[in-house]
Amino acid sequence: MARVFLSAPYMGGNEQKYVNEAFKSNYIAPLGEFVDRFENSIKEYCKVSNALALNSATAGLHLALRTFGIKDGDIVLASTFTFAASVNPIMYERCQPLFIDSDESWNLSPRLLKEAIFKSDKKPKALILTHLYGQAAKIDEILEICKNESIKVIEDAAEALGGFYSDKALGTFGDAGVYSFNGNKIITTSGGGMLVSSDSDFIAKARYYSTQAREPLLHYEHLDYGYNYRLSNVLGAIGVGQMEVLQSRVERKRQIFKIYSNLLGDVAEFMPEIPNSKGNRWLTTLLFKEKNSHLKVIEALNKNDIESRPLWKPMHIQPVFKGAKCFIDGTSEEYFSRGICLPSGADMSDELVEKIASIVRSAL
Catalytic residue IDs: 185
How many other CB atoms sit within 10 Å of the CB of residue 88? 16
Cα–Cα distance list, 118 to 90, 113, 115, 123, 309 (Å):
20, 9, 5, 8, 36
Q: How far apart are CA 303 and CA 317, in angstroms?
A: 29
Indicate the helix (H) or strand (E) that contains 10. none
Measured distance CA(270)–CA(75) in Å, rounded: 33
DSSP states of 28-84: -SB-SHHHHHHHHHHHHHHT-SEEEEES-HHHHHHHHHHHTT--TT-EEEEESSS-G
Q: Please tell me the number of Cα atoms within 13 Å of 352 on its side-chain side.
A: 20
Tally Cβ neighbours within 10 Å of residue 184. 16
Tell me if 133 sits within 8 A of 102, measured CB to CB. Answer: no
> What whole-number distance in Å separates Cα of residue 4 and Cα of residue 114?
42
Of 233, 182, 175, whose CA–CA distance to 205 is shortest? 175
